[in-house]
């Protein structure tokens, strides 16, 4: 998608504080962090939201989550805990329509969510 900000970060057309990139996913720090660690993990393939996933994307979605685990370990938050969030649609709080997983940690999360 030529107008997608995340696609542009993946392609290095605009800057992003990348912390990981492989053939399937790219991870970069959120520009508006809500915790000491706030990383977005996005598929390199443009998928607007979970609502567009197909069975062909199952391995990719699994890779998003294993990448999150690896990054949590690297950031030093795996043992203390962290939150993973995917927002879907306007009522779910989705702002950028490119599927992304928020990895948030480094402080105690509040409950309840929402």
- How far is CA 80 from each of CA 43, 48, 53, 75, rounded to the nearest angstrom? 26, 32, 31, 11
DSSP H or E run through 98: none
Among candidate residues 46, 91, 100, 102, the one labeled active-site is 100
* Cα–Cα distance measured from residue 52 to residue 23, given in angstroms and rounded to the nearest whole number: 20
Active site residue 98: no
Helix (H, G, I), strand (E, B) or coil at 61: helix
Please report where in the chains the tokens 């989550």 appear, as a residue: 65
> 82: which strand partners?
105
- Give the active site residues: 100
């Amino acid at each position: 998608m030529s107008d997608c900000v995340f696609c542009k970060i993946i392609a290095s057309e605009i800057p992003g504080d990348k912390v990981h990139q492989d053939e399937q996913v790219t991870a970069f720090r959120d520009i508006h962090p809500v915790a000491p660690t706030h990383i977005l993990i996005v598929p390199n393939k443009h998928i607007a939201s979970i609502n567009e996933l197909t069975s062909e994307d199952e391995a990719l979605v699994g890779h998003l989550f294993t990448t999150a685990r690896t990054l949590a370990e690297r950031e030093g938050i795996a043992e203390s805990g962290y939150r993973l969030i995917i927002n879907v649609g306007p009522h779910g709080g989705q702002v950028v329509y490119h599927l992304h997983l928020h990895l948030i940690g480094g402080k105690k999360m509040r409950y309840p969510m929402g």
